[in-house]
């Protein structure tokens, strides 16, 4: 199947032509048939000589219903421009063509209707010239009469040729089905319709409502009035949603593949049409079937920032139209350049941003996005429409290679600076580095660490684990010289201070393994534990605290915490009568 939208001035025979081609009534409402004009979108389809099926989205031609026309054309890849031979090119012909051009529709046909009432030549020549200057370019043209049937075989053949030229849809693309109708069927619940431009929808799929961000389940599918288990692009499709109230979904909403789209209310775009400086402060953005008011901030000659009245699921490269509803004027088409742009807070930020945007063309560019964003999650880029083909630096974080190298250099410099300012600490806390490097997660800091740097106990250091500042190392050596032959005697706090070992210096020595802390201000040399077990193992088992103190030639101040530490390490066992026994050999 392929899908074609009609376009053209009111009462130029668009619905008559669709009716003649398909044998179906595209005007759904009694009011439309009574007034003889299309008010809302109509749908019909037919089988062509090739066996292919073409579905028509029949749009209204009256100027009051241009928003409805844009809702029908937005998701459709091709257009059938209709001009009446007896009236020729008219104002809504021009506005509809401007809308097609703004949306970037590049495939189409020209049908000159009512060829039985007037010579189609002049109308055909003028229309082809107007269309050639738009995104449609040179199009095949057919003169027809819906009343007599003249030219219909030629138009069917031309539609076949048009279908053969349309690009193949991407079967594994994420689903973004813009909703153009929403209604309720008794016994089935809420049904929405739209044009599926890419991907596949299956019964049982879980999708996401764009407006609410809530999950929905596909209960049933219909295409061309037949129930389907699966529908692929490009197709007109009706989706029956399970458990969704009718008032929760309306035209302009979208059904999405979960996790694949970035809902945004702020976008930077390139404008093709009116100069950016001439745009009014408020316009309406038409994309898919949505029409959303937007505040306009010009950035460069052809780039603007749009603040949308509500978030939309947009991707880099999306095409949309800006329209001034007050003047009933299509201001131009836009190409989405950035769906997650940076804030503009400083003086000159808008001009700098315009320079950046001048180098963007709306095509997803992984290297460029990494260069501009420096650090970004892979999922965030995927939701912007940027394929991710590089390996994350850690977790799902992607980094610009140059920025990542700079961060590594800065990290080494910060570690060295912290070591000079805090010589007694065992390195820089990871969180301190995270803040100084302005990184969002600790894991990024740890991923930056390269030899000779190392991470230990939540700190990053360039020194070996057992390294000590020179003054502390000298003080520890004085303790070793003074107490080496009395390993179970602990220096008093005042003597430690005289040696140059205050609380911070002791902490550094303990972390380096140069001293063993038993309790506050009670420290021994590091081999004391194994030596104590050897001494205690020679005592009659079990032994008392008093016997241990005497055997170790130490004080109660040392013996009590020493034995408790041996208990915790499993070298000794405390018995119910407070005696102990050695249960493990030294070491």
Secondary structure of 529-573 as H, E, C letters = HHHHHHHHHCCCCCECHHHHHHHHCCCHHHHHHHHHHHHHHCCEE
Instruction: Identify the segments of the chain with pLDDT beneath 50.
Output: 28-40, 61-66, 72, 465
Task: Specify the number of domains making up the chain.
Answer: 5
Q: For residues 491 and 452, state if they share a domain.
A: no
Domain boundary residue among 465, 490, 515?
Answer: 465
Sort 355 into a burial class: Cβ within 10 Å, 0-12 / 13-18 / 19+.
exposed
Residue 180 vs residues 68, 133, 329: alpha-carbon distances, Å: 9, 29, 22
Q: For residues 31 and 141, state if they share a domain.
A: yes
Q: For residues 385 and 425, state if they share a domain.
A: yes
First and final C-alpha spacing in the chain? 79
Q: For residues 14 and 125, state if they share a domain.
A: yes
Residue 586: per-residue pLDDT: 56
Does 587 map to a domain? no
Q: Residue 82 is part of which domain span? A: 2-165
Q: For residues 457 and 475, state if they share a domain.
A: no
Does 171 map to a domain? no
The neighbouring-strand residues paired with 242 are 217
Among 466, 465, 480, 568, smallest CA distance to 524 is for 480
Q: For residues 453 and 544, state if they share a domain.
A: no
Residue 466: per-residue pLDDT: 52
Domain boundary residue among 346, 363, 380?
Answer: 363
Q: For residues 138 and 205, state if they share a domain.
A: no
Give the CATH number, domain containing residue 72.
Answer: 3.40.50.300
How many angstroms from the chain centroid is the CA of residue 389? Answer: 15
Residue 438: per-residue pLDDT: 95
Q: For residues 371 and 416, state if they share a domain.
A: yes
Q: For residues 156 and 293, state if they share a domain.
A: no
Give the CATH number, domain containing residue 308.
Answer: 2.40.30.10
- Helix-, strand-, coil-residue percentages of the chain, each rounded to 5: 35, 30, 40
Q: For residues 152 and 78, state if they share a domain.
A: yes
Q: For residues 89 and 76, state if they share a domain.
A: yes
Does 512 map to a domain? yes
Residue 37: per-residue pLDDT: 33
Q: For residues 23 and 96, state if they share a domain.
A: yes
pTM: 0.76
Domain boundary residue among 411, 439, 465?
Answer: 465
Sort 420 into a burial class: Cβ within 10 Å, 0-12 / 13-18 / 19+.
exposed
């Amino acid at each position: 199947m392929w899908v074609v939208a009609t376009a053209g001035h009111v009462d130029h025979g668009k619905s008559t032509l669709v009716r003649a081609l398909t044998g179906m009534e595209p005007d759904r409402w009694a009011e439309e048939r009574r007034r003889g004009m299309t008010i809302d979108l109509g749908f019909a389809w037919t089988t062509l000589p090739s066996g292919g099926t073409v579905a028509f989205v029949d749009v209204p031609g009256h100027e009051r219903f241009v928003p409805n026309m844009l809702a029908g054309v937005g998701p459709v890849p091709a257009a059938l421009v209709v001009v009446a031979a007896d009236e020729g090119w008219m104002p809504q012909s021009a506005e509809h063509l401007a809308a097609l051009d703004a949306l970037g529709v590049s495939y189409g046909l020209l049908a000159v209707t009512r060829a039985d009432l007037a010579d189609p030549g002049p109308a055909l020549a003028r229309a082809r010239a107007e269309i050639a200057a738009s995104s449609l370019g040179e199009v095949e043209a057919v003169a027809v009469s819906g009343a007599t049937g003249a030219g219909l075989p030629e138009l069917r053949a031309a539609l076949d040729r048009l279908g053969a030229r349309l690009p193949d849809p991407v079967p594994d693309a994420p689903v973004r089905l813009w909703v153009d109708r929403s209604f309720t069927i008794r016994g089935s619940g809420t049904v929405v319709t739209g044009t599926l431009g890419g991907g596949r929808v299956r019964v049982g799929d879980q999708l996401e409502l764009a407006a609410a961000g809530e999950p929905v389940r596909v209960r049933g599918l219909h295409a061309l009035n037949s129930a389907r288990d699966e529908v692929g692009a490009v197709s007109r499709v009706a989706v029956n949603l399970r458990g969704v109230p009718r008032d929760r979904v309306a035209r302009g909403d979208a059904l999405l593949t979960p996790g694949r789209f970035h809902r945004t209310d702020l976008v930077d775009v390139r404008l093709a049409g009116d100069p950016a400086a001439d745009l009014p402060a408020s316009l309406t953005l038409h994309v898919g079937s949505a029409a959303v008011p937007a505040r306009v901030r010009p950035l460069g000659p052809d780039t603007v920032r749009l603040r949308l009245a509500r978030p939309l699921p947009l991707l880099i490269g999306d095409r949309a139209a800006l329209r001034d509803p007050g003047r009933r004027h299509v201001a131009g088409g836009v190409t989405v350049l950035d769906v997650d742009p940076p804030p503009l807070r400083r003086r000159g930020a808008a001009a700098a941003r315009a320079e950046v945007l001048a180098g963007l063309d709306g095509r997803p560019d992984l290297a460029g996005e990494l260069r501009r964003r420096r650090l970004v999650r892979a999922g965030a880029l995927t939701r912007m429409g940027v394929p991710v083909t590089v390996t994350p630096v850690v977790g799902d974080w992607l980094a610009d290679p140059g920025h990542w190298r700079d961060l590594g250099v800065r990290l080494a410099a910060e570690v060295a600076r912290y070591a000079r300012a805090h010589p007694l600490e065992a390195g820089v806390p990871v969180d301190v580095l995270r803040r100084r490097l302005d990184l969002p997660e600790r894991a990024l800091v740890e991923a930056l660490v390269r030899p000779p740097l190392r991470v230990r106990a939540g700190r990053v250091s360039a020194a070996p684990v057992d390294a000590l500042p020179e003054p502390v190392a000298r003080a520890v050596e004085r303790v070793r010289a003074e107490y080496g032959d009395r390993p179970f005697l602990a220096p008093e706090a005042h003597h430690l201070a005289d040696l140059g070992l205050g609380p911070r210096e002791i902490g550094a020595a303990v972390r380096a393994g140069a001293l063993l802390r038993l309790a506050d201000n009670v420290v021994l040399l590091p081999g004391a534990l194994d030596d104590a077990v050897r001494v205690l193992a020679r005592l009659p088992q079990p032994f008392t605290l008093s016997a241990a103190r005497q055997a170790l030639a130490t004080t109660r101040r040392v013996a009590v915490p020493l034995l408790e530490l041996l208990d915790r390490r499993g070298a000794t066992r405390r018995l119910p009568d407070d005696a102990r026994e050695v249960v493990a050999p030294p070491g």
